Amino acid sequence: MNERPAPPDLERVTQDIQALIDRLGSLTLVTLDAEGDPEPSYAPYLFQDGAFHLFISQLAPHTGHLETQARASVMLMADETQTAQIFARERLILRCSVDWPEGETSARVLDAMQERHGSVLRLLRRLPDFRLVRLNPHDGRYVAGFGKAFRLEGLRPVEWLSR
């Protein structure tokens, strides 16, 4: 008789999620166009105060989508070249709401983003078409491998998805 394995330690899963976020510098962003069709893109991010902050150009289609839809999905994935089993690649998928920080909050985040991503931010901050957007995770899924999938509320694992 096959016994079901013991449920994973959710605190450890939370740490693994944070480690993935800390390890990566960009995310895959999926927005919806005016017809409701998904459009994938990517953006570098800064994770701060429980949210993903992106500094994006208004010339990019995803910026207009975020302005009109105020929601998006993001995916962060482990580097494919460092994945032992491509079918079990570590990934974090989140549905997010959108808001647009301004003023001191924006300056503080952009300073931290510049520290993380380098001097190119100094140039981008001077360009009139760039805006800071904050993606606030609501729910999603984290997959750490076969039999290691979790339903999330925010970034907190609340359910081990097993049979």
Question: DSSP character for 158?
Answer: E
Query: What's the pLDDT at 57?
Result: 97
User: Which domains can be identified in the chain, with CATH numbers?
Assistant: 10-89+110-160 (2.30.110.10)
| Start-to-end Cα distance in the chain | 15
Question: Does the predicted model carry a pTM greater than 0.85?
Answer: yes
**How do residues 33-62 score in pLDDT, each as one tens digit?**
999 999 999 999 999 999 999 999 999 999
pLDDT at 163: 61
Residue 12 CB partners (closer than 8 Å, separation 6+):
none
